[in-house]
Amino acid sequence: MTDQSPVTDAPTSPVKTLPDAQTVTEVRHWTERLFSFRVTRPQSLRFRSGEFVMIGLLGDNGKPLLRAYSIASPSWDEELEFYSIKVPDGPLTSKLQHIQPGEQIILRPKPVGTLVLDALLPGKRIWFLATGTGIAPFASLMRDPETYEKYEQVVMMHTCRTVAELEYGRQLVAALRDDPLIGEMVEGKLLYYPTTTREESPHMGRITDNLTSGKVLADLGLPPIDPATDRAMVCGSLAFNLDVKAVLEGFGLREGANSDPQEYVVEKAFVGDGI
Ligand code: FAD
Ligand code: A2P
């Protein structure tokens, strides 16, 4: 085939720039299975705290290898933060876990998701219920002043197998309380309830058990969950989400969506094997 390119074409650049490229500014490894990183934010990207985007790297075949990721930073932040699992043989995270500041990732700037404040009817108290990396959307919502404008109390329940897996959330809450801007707003309103299930820690047990037994209410001095006042957002594995849904429905809460705000909303933290 003859080359039809006009002779005025610029020569191919030796520097390969990814489509929708953003530059990594910071990487922190929390455990062998968990890390977080920050990237530059496209100027045009507007999102609601709690939403997710598609991010990734170029695969070996030269095509983008993309996965859904909750934006862990709040909508006012100049950069974007992500909190990630490391799946040893995972197509994306086996590579992504090695990224370094200065390198690039692909970010498709089309945020979507159900874990947004607009998907809930007004209420008095909001429950953020997460396991593992499911805390990511709440890392965004906990840092958003709008959350505290809309709710008198914000209860963050995060459950992991071990204490080390809670550390990202623990440091985030501590930093929030010390923050000169939002610290005062959060004071007395943000109730943090981390628990472990397979290692000794001050509070133990699954979120479902601590809700149904009323232990979390007793520990935090809260009244029973009531559909008139309480709202919830859920983010974990499919099994976790289904079990929490049943618990919330038992308290009389109904599932909502962007188009139909109700008392609780759910999003998968990941798509499990065979699901
Ligand atoms: P994949 O082939 O995608 O996954 C391989 C297997 O690893 C899965 O079948 C599952 O068993 C397990 N797995 C995948 N992700 C997780 C996880 N997060 N926690 C525990 N086990 C997992 N992942 C994040 O790390 N952070 C996020 O903020 C995040 N947000 C998401 C939001 C949505 C709406 C959805 C649907 C998924 C989200 N994920 C998130 C999962 C993410 O899209 C990828 O699955 C993950 O990055 C692993 O990619 P991979 O290509 O390495 O492996
Ligand atoms: P457990 O240790 O009792 O299984 P994982 O690491 O498997 O993704 O789980 C993260 C956390 O979520 C663990 O503490 C685990 O508790 C808890 N968990 C897993 N499945 C459920 C569920 N269906 N309901 C409530 N908690 C769950």
* 91 CA closest ligand 1 atom index: 51
Mean pLDDT to the nearest integer, 166-190: 94
Are 66 and 202 members of one domain? no
Greatest distance between any 2 Cα atoms in the chain? 78
**Residue 253 is encoded by which pair of tokens?**
């809460």
Looking at the fold, whether 201 and 224 belong to one and the same domain comes out as yes
Q: Which atom of ligand 2 is nearest to the CA of 239?
A: 23
Q: Is residue 3 part of a domain?
A: no
Residue 232 included in any domain: yes
The helix or strand, by DSSP H or E, that contains position 168, with its residue range, turns out to be helix 167-178
- Give the Å distance between the CA of 89 and the centre of ligand 1: 12
- Sequence length of the chain is 275
pLDDT confidence of residue 1 = 37
Cβ atoms of 256 and 264 closer than 8 Å: yes
Q: What is the pLDDT of residues 138-164, one digit of tens each?
A: 999 999 999 999 999 999 999 999 999
- Do 201 and 234 lie in a common domain? yes
Is 70 within 8 Å of 52 (Cβ atoms)?
yes
Q: How far is the CA of 22 from the centre of ligand 2 (A)?
A: 33
Q: Is residue 216 part of a domain?
A: yes
The model's confidence at residue 11, banded by pLDDT at 50, 70 and 90, is: very low
Q: What is the pLDDT of residue 16?
A: 59
Regarding whether 154 and 102 lie in a shared domain, the answer is no
Whether residue 11 is contained in a domain is answered as no
**What's the mean pLDDT when you consider all of the chain?**
93
What integer pLDDT is reported at residue 10 of this predicted model? 41
The pLDDT assigned to 272 comes to: 79
At 180 the pLDDT is 86
Whether residues 251 and 132 share a domain: the answer is: yes
Per the domain annotation, does 28 fall within a domain?
A: yes
- pLDDT of 168 over the 90 cut: yes
How many domains, in total, are found in the chain? Answer: 2
Residues 258 and 127 in one domain: yes
In a domain, 78, yes or no: yes
Ligand 1 centroid to Cα of residue 190, in Å, is 28
Reduce the DSSP state of residue 125 to 3 states and report it.
strand
Mean pLDDT in residue range 228-255: 98
Q: Is residue 25 part of a domain?
A: yes
pLDDT over 70 percentage in the chain = 93
pLDDT of residue 181: 80
CATH, residue 174: 3.40.50.80
Same domain for 239 and 107: no
Ligand that comes closest to the CA of residue 89: 1
Digit-coded pLDDT (tens) for 29-50: 999 999 999 999 998 999 999 9
Compute the Cα dihedral for 221, 235, 248, 196 and give only its sign.
negative
- Please give the average per-residue pLDDT across 119-139, as a whole number: 98
Higher-confidence residue of 12 and 164: namely 164
272 lines ligand 1 (CB under 6 A): yes
Amino acid at 7: V
Q: Which band of pLDDT confidence, cut at 50, 70 and 90, is reported for residue 273?
A: low
What is the span of the domain harbouring residue 227?
Answer: 117-266
Q: Give the separation between CA 195 and CA 162, rounded to whole angstroms.
A: 9
Q: Residue 45's closest CA among 96, 79, 82, 84?
A: 79
Cβ(206) to ligand 2 under 6 A? Answer: yes
Judge if 72 and 142 occupy the same domain: no
Please tell me the residue having the least CA distance from ligand 1 atom 25. Answer: 84
Of 66, 87, 112, the domain-final residue: 112
The average pLDDT across 176-196 equals 93
